[in-house]
Structure 1
Amino acid sequence: MSFTAAELAYLKSQPLARIATVGPDGQPDVVPVGFEYDGVHFYVGGVDPAKTRKVLNVQAGHDQVALVIDDLVSTDPWSPRFVRVYGTAEVVERSGMFGPGVYLRITPTTSWSWHLDGRAADHSDEDFAPRRTVHPVSGRADQAASQQ
Protein backbone atom coordinates (compact mmCIF):
# COMPACT_ATOMS: atom_id res chain seq x y z
CA MET A 1 0.00 0.00 0.00
CA SER A 2 1.53 3.29 -1.09
CA PHE A 3 -0.94 5.79 0.30
CA THR A 4 -0.25 7.27 3.73
CA ALA A 5 -2.73 7.02 6.60
CA ALA A 6 -3.70 10.68 6.01
CA GLU A 7 -4.27 10.05 2.30
CA LEU A 8 -6.38 6.95 3.00
CA ALA A 9 -8.49 8.85 5.55
CA TYR A 10 -9.02 11.65 3.04
CA LEU A 11 -10.02 9.20 0.28
CA LYS A 12 -12.57 7.59 2.62
CA SER A 13 -14.01 11.01 3.51
CA GLN A 14 -14.73 12.08 -0.07
CA PRO A 15 -17.70 10.80 -2.11
CA LEU A 16 -16.83 12.45 -5.43
CA ALA A 17 -13.89 12.50 -7.84
CA ARG A 18 -13.24 13.65 -11.38
CA ILE A 19 -11.87 11.25 -13.98
CA ALA A 20 -10.13 12.26 -17.17
CA THR A 21 -9.86 9.93 -20.15
CA VAL A 22 -8.83 10.51 -23.75
CA GLY A 23 -10.99 9.63 -26.72
CA PRO A 24 -9.89 7.96 -29.96
CA ASP A 25 -9.75 11.41 -31.58
CA GLY A 26 -7.36 12.69 -28.88
CA GLN A 27 -10.03 14.80 -27.18
CA PRO A 28 -9.69 14.79 -23.36
CA ASP A 29 -12.89 14.17 -21.43
CA VAL A 30 -13.34 14.85 -17.71
CA VAL A 31 -16.43 14.01 -15.67
CA PRO A 32 -17.41 13.86 -11.99
CA VAL A 33 -17.80 10.31 -10.66
CA GLY A 34 -18.38 8.35 -7.52
CA PHE A 35 -15.47 6.09 -6.65
CA GLU A 36 -14.32 3.30 -4.38
CA TYR A 37 -10.79 2.40 -3.27
CA ASP A 38 -10.08 -1.13 -2.02
CA GLY A 39 -6.48 -0.61 -0.96
CA VAL A 40 -5.10 -1.59 -4.37
CA HIS A 41 -7.45 -0.26 -7.09
CA PHE A 42 -9.88 2.57 -7.57
CA TYR A 43 -13.26 1.63 -9.07
CA VAL A 44 -15.49 4.00 -11.02
CA GLY A 45 -18.97 2.95 -12.09
CA GLY A 46 -22.27 4.70 -12.57
CA VAL A 47 -25.65 4.42 -14.18
CA ASP A 48 -25.31 2.38 -17.39
CA PRO A 49 -21.53 2.99 -17.54
CA ALA A 50 -20.98 0.76 -20.59
CA LYS A 51 -22.41 3.59 -22.74
CA THR A 52 -20.28 6.37 -21.20
CA ARG A 53 -17.33 8.07 -22.85
CA LYS A 54 -15.01 7.08 -20.01
CA VAL A 55 -15.67 3.38 -20.54
CA LEU A 56 -15.73 3.63 -24.34
CA ASN A 57 -12.42 5.54 -24.29
CA VAL A 58 -10.74 2.83 -22.21
CA GLN A 59 -12.25 0.09 -24.38
CA ALA A 60 -10.80 1.89 -27.42
CA GLY A 61 -7.32 1.34 -25.97
CA HIS A 62 -6.80 4.66 -24.21
CA ASP A 63 -6.13 3.15 -20.80
CA GLN A 64 -4.19 6.01 -19.20
CA VAL A 65 -6.42 8.02 -16.89
CA ALA A 66 -6.22 10.74 -14.27
CA LEU A 67 -8.39 10.86 -11.16
CA VAL A 68 -8.69 13.88 -8.87
CA ILE A 69 -10.32 13.82 -5.45
CA ASP A 70 -10.47 17.36 -4.05
CA ASP A 71 -12.37 19.78 -1.89
CA LEU A 72 -12.15 23.28 -0.50
CA VAL A 73 -11.97 23.49 3.28
CA SER A 74 -12.29 27.27 3.32
CA THR A 75 -12.27 30.25 0.97
CA ASP A 76 -10.98 32.62 3.67
CA PRO A 77 -8.28 31.63 4.17
CA TRP A 78 -7.96 29.79 0.85
CA SER A 79 -7.58 26.12 1.86
CA PRO A 80 -7.83 23.61 -1.00
CA ARG A 81 -6.69 20.01 -0.66
CA PHE A 82 -6.45 17.08 -3.06
CA VAL A 83 -5.26 13.64 -4.03
CA ARG A 84 -4.44 13.31 -7.73
CA VAL A 85 -3.84 9.88 -9.26
CA TYR A 86 -2.40 8.87 -12.61
CA GLY A 87 -2.97 5.27 -13.55
CA THR A 88 -4.11 2.69 -16.03
CA ALA A 89 -7.72 1.60 -16.36
CA GLU A 90 -9.42 -1.54 -17.52
CA VAL A 91 -13.07 -2.42 -17.89
CA VAL A 92 -14.24 -5.07 -15.42
CA GLU A 93 -17.48 -6.61 -14.21
CA ARG A 94 -18.03 -6.41 -10.47
CA SER A 95 -20.54 -5.61 -7.79
CA GLY A 96 -19.76 -2.28 -6.16
CA MET A 97 -21.35 0.91 -4.88
CA PHE A 98 -23.50 1.18 -8.02
CA GLY A 99 -24.55 -2.48 -7.87
CA PRO A 100 -23.41 -5.23 -10.23
CA GLY A 101 -22.16 -4.22 -13.64
CA VAL A 102 -19.37 -2.56 -15.59
CA TYR A 103 -16.71 -0.57 -13.73
CA LEU A 104 -13.37 0.95 -14.57
CA ARG A 105 -10.66 -0.56 -12.38
CA ILE A 106 -7.82 1.92 -12.04
CA THR A 107 -4.35 0.83 -10.99
CA PRO A 108 -2.45 3.83 -9.59
CA THR A 109 1.01 4.49 -11.01
CA THR A 110 1.75 7.93 -9.53
CA SER A 111 -0.11 10.07 -7.04
CA TRP A 112 0.17 13.48 -5.44
CA SER A 113 -1.46 14.83 -2.31
CA TRP A 114 -1.52 18.33 -0.95
CA HIS A 115 -2.58 20.04 2.27
CA LEU A 116 -4.76 17.18 3.47
CA ASP A 117 -4.70 18.67 6.95
CA GLY A 118 -6.86 21.53 5.63
CA ARG A 119 -4.46 24.34 6.45
CA ALA A 120 -4.37 27.50 4.40
CA ALA A 121 -2.34 27.53 1.19
CA ASP A 122 0.61 29.72 2.09
CA HIS A 123 3.22 30.11 -0.66
CA SER A 124 5.88 30.86 1.96
CA ASP A 125 5.28 27.44 3.53
CA GLU A 126 8.39 25.20 3.32
CA ASP A 127 6.37 22.17 2.23
CA PHE A 128 4.12 23.96 -0.25
CA ALA A 129 4.85 21.33 -2.91
CA PRO A 130 2.59 18.27 -3.07
CA ARG A 131 3.73 14.88 -1.79
CA ARG A 132 4.50 12.64 -4.79
CA THR A 133 4.40 8.84 -4.68
CA VAL A 134 5.34 6.36 -7.39
CA HIS A 135 3.21 3.28 -6.77
CA PRO A 136 4.65 -0.19 -7.15
CA VAL A 137 3.84 -1.98 -10.36
CA SER A 138 2.54 -5.48 -9.66
CA GLY A 139 5.57 -7.74 -9.27
CA ARG A 140 7.99 -4.82 -9.29
CA ALA A 141 7.67 -3.39 -5.78
CA ASP A 142 11.42 -2.72 -5.73
CA GLN A 143 10.79 0.21 -8.09
CA ALA A 144 8.46 2.00 -5.70
CA ALA A 145 9.74 5.31 -4.45
CA SER A 146 8.24 8.12 -2.48
CA GLN A 147 9.47 11.71 -2.83
CA GLN A 148 8.58 14.95 -1.13
Structure 2
Amino acid sequence: MSLTSEERAYIRSQSLARLATIGPNGPQVRPVGFVLNDDDTLDIGGPKLRESQKYRNARAHAEVALVIDDMAPADDPIAAGWGRGVEIRGRAELLTLDAPPMAPDFFSNDVIRVHPSRVISWHIAPEGQARDIV
Protein backbone atom coordinates (compact mmCIF):
# COMPACT_ATOMS: atom_id res chain seq x y z
CA MET A 1 0.00 0.00 0.00
CA SER A 2 1.58 3.26 -1.09
CA LEU A 3 0.93 6.69 0.31
CA THR A 4 0.46 9.69 -1.98
CA SER A 5 3.01 12.49 -1.99
CA GLU A 6 0.46 14.72 -0.19
CA GLU A 7 -0.09 12.08 2.50
CA ARG A 8 3.66 11.64 3.00
CA ALA A 9 4.22 15.39 3.26
CA TYR A 10 1.36 15.78 5.73
CA ILE A 11 2.48 12.84 7.89
CA ARG A 12 6.05 14.15 7.99
CA SER A 13 4.75 17.54 9.14
CA GLN A 14 3.13 15.99 12.23
CA SER A 15 4.67 14.63 15.43
CA LEU A 16 1.75 13.05 17.27
CA ALA A 17 -0.68 10.29 16.30
CA ARG A 18 -3.22 8.07 18.01
CA LEU A 19 -2.76 4.31 17.91
CA ALA A 20 -5.82 2.07 18.26
CA THR A 21 -5.28 -1.53 19.36
CA ILE A 22 -7.53 -4.28 20.67
CA GLY A 23 -6.82 -5.38 24.23
CA PRO A 24 -8.29 -7.92 26.60
CA ASN A 25 -10.98 -5.42 27.64
CA GLY A 26 -11.72 -4.02 24.17
CA PRO A 27 -10.31 -1.12 22.14
CA GLN A 28 -7.49 1.06 23.47
CA VAL A 29 -6.45 4.38 21.91
CA ARG A 30 -3.23 6.10 22.95
CA PRO A 31 -1.24 9.12 21.74
CA VAL A 32 2.10 8.06 20.28
CA GLY A 33 5.22 9.43 18.65
CA PHE A 34 6.03 8.01 15.22
CA VAL A 35 8.36 8.14 12.23
CA LEU A 36 7.40 7.57 8.59
CA ASN A 37 9.89 5.22 6.90
CA ASP A 38 10.92 5.38 3.22
CA ASP A 39 8.87 2.24 2.46
CA ASP A 40 5.66 3.89 3.83
CA THR A 41 5.67 1.84 7.04
CA LEU A 42 5.46 3.80 10.28
CA ASP A 43 7.48 3.15 13.44
CA ILE A 44 5.80 3.94 16.74
CA GLY A 45 8.07 4.43 19.70
CA GLY A 46 7.99 5.32 23.33
CA PRO A 47 9.80 4.97 26.63
CA LYS A 48 9.67 1.37 27.90
CA LEU A 49 7.43 0.51 24.93
CA ARG A 50 7.79 -3.25 25.47
CA GLU A 51 6.18 -2.84 28.91
CA SER A 52 3.15 -0.94 27.60
CA GLN A 53 -0.38 -2.23 27.13
CA LYS A 54 -0.38 -1.07 23.49
CA TYR A 55 2.68 -3.25 22.81
CA ARG A 56 1.05 -6.29 24.45
CA ASN A 57 -2.16 -5.58 22.52
CA ALA A 58 -0.29 -5.40 19.22
CA ARG A 59 1.51 -8.66 20.04
CA ALA A 60 -1.84 -10.39 20.68
CA HIS A 61 -3.81 -8.74 17.83
CA ALA A 62 -1.68 -7.45 14.97
CA GLU A 63 -4.46 -5.44 13.31
CA VAL A 64 -4.13 -1.78 14.37
CA ALA A 65 -5.16 1.69 13.23
CA LEU A 66 -3.16 4.90 13.40
CA VAL A 67 -4.76 8.34 13.04
CA ILE A 68 -2.64 11.41 12.32
CA ASP A 69 -4.76 14.57 12.28
CA ASP A 70 -4.98 18.23 13.20
CA MET A 71 -6.90 21.38 12.44
CA ALA A 72 -5.77 23.19 9.29
CA PRO A 73 -4.68 26.79 9.90
CA ALA A 74 -7.04 29.57 8.84
CA ASP A 75 -4.86 30.36 5.81
CA ASP A 76 -4.59 26.77 4.55
CA PRO A 77 -5.40 26.76 0.80
CA ILE A 78 -7.09 23.34 0.93
CA ALA A 79 -9.15 23.21 4.13
CA ALA A 80 -8.90 26.50 6.02
CA GLY A 81 -10.05 25.92 9.59
CA TRP A 82 -11.19 22.33 8.95
CA GLY A 83 -9.98 19.05 10.38
CA ARG A 84 -7.58 17.13 8.15
CA GLY A 85 -5.68 13.91 8.46
CA VAL A 86 -4.74 10.39 7.50
CA GLU A 87 -6.00 7.13 8.98
CA ILE A 88 -3.80 4.11 8.38
CA ARG A 89 -5.08 0.64 9.09
CA GLY A 90 -2.70 -2.26 8.93
CA ARG A 91 -0.64 -4.98 10.54
CA ALA A 92 1.66 -4.34 13.48
CA GLU A 93 5.13 -5.86 13.57
CA LEU A 94 7.08 -5.72 16.84
CA LEU A 95 10.77 -4.98 16.39
CA THR A 96 13.85 -4.04 18.40
CA LEU A 97 16.05 -1.67 16.39
CA ASP A 98 19.73 -0.87 16.86
CA ALA A 99 18.73 2.66 17.92
CA PRO A 100 15.44 4.39 18.72
CA PRO A 101 13.87 5.93 15.59
CA MET A 102 13.15 9.14 17.54
CA ALA A 103 13.98 10.79 20.87
CA PRO A 104 17.07 8.61 21.50
CA ASP A 105 17.58 9.98 25.02
CA PHE A 106 14.03 9.10 26.02
CA PHE A 107 12.57 6.31 23.81
CA SER A 108 13.51 2.64 23.85
CA ASN A 109 14.81 0.65 20.86
CA ASP A 110 11.51 -1.24 20.68
CA VAL A 111 9.01 -0.16 18.02
CA ILE A 112 5.63 -1.12 16.71
CA ARG A 113 5.98 -0.99 12.93
CA VAL A 114 2.70 -0.47 11.09
CA HIS A 115 2.42 -1.98 7.60
CA PRO A 116 -0.46 -0.13 5.91
CA SER A 117 -3.23 -2.13 4.24
CA ARG A 118 -5.82 0.67 4.04
CA VAL A 119 -5.38 4.46 3.90
CA ILE A 120 -8.11 7.03 4.41
CA SER A 121 -7.21 10.71 4.07
CA TRP A 122 -9.20 13.93 4.17
CA HIS A 123 -8.57 17.62 3.51
CA ILE A 124 -4.87 17.25 2.71
CA ALA A 125 -5.20 17.32 -1.09
CA PRO A 126 -7.23 19.59 -3.37
CA GLU A 127 -11.03 19.12 -3.41
CA GLY A 128 -12.13 15.79 -4.80
CA GLN A 129 -8.88 14.05 -3.89
CA ALA A 130 -9.81 12.59 -0.51
CA ARG A 131 -9.27 8.86 -0.62
CA ASP A 132 -10.16 5.59 0.96
CA ILE A 133 -7.90 2.99 -0.62
CA VAL A 134 -7.81 -0.66 0.34
TM-score range, shorter chain: 0.7 to 0.9
Compute the TM-score of the two structures, normalised by the length of structure 1: 0.75
Of structures 1 and 2, the one scoring higher in RCO (CA 8 A, sep 6+) is 2
Higher CA-based Rg: 1
Match of 1:17 in 2: 17
Equivalent residue letter for 2:120: W
1:83 equivalent to 2:91? Answer: no
- For 1:78 and 1:72, locate their aligned partners in 2 and report how far apart those are by CA, in whole Å: 6
The aligned residue for residue 64 of structure 1 is: 63
Look up the match of 1:107.
115
* Corresponding pairs, count: 124
Residues 69-121 of structure 1, C-alpha deviations (whole Å, 9 max, x = no match): 0000148x64110100000102100121143511101100000111115x8xx
Aligned identity (percent) is 37
Match of 2:31 in 1: 32
Distance 1:80 1:74 in 2: 9
**Aligned-residue RMSD, C-alpha:** 2.1
Residue aligning to 1:8: 8
Q: Which runs of 5+ in 1 are unaligned?
A: 120-124, 135-148
Q: Distance between the aligned counterparts of 2:11 and 2:29, measured in 1?
A: 19
Letter in 2 for 1:33: V
- The answer to whether the 8 Å contact 1:24/1:62 transfers is no
Q: The residue matched to 2:55 in structure 1 has which SS?
A: helix
The code of the aligned residue for 2:29 comes to V
Structure 1 runs of 4+ with >6 Å offset = none
Which residue identity does 2:94 align to in structure 1? V
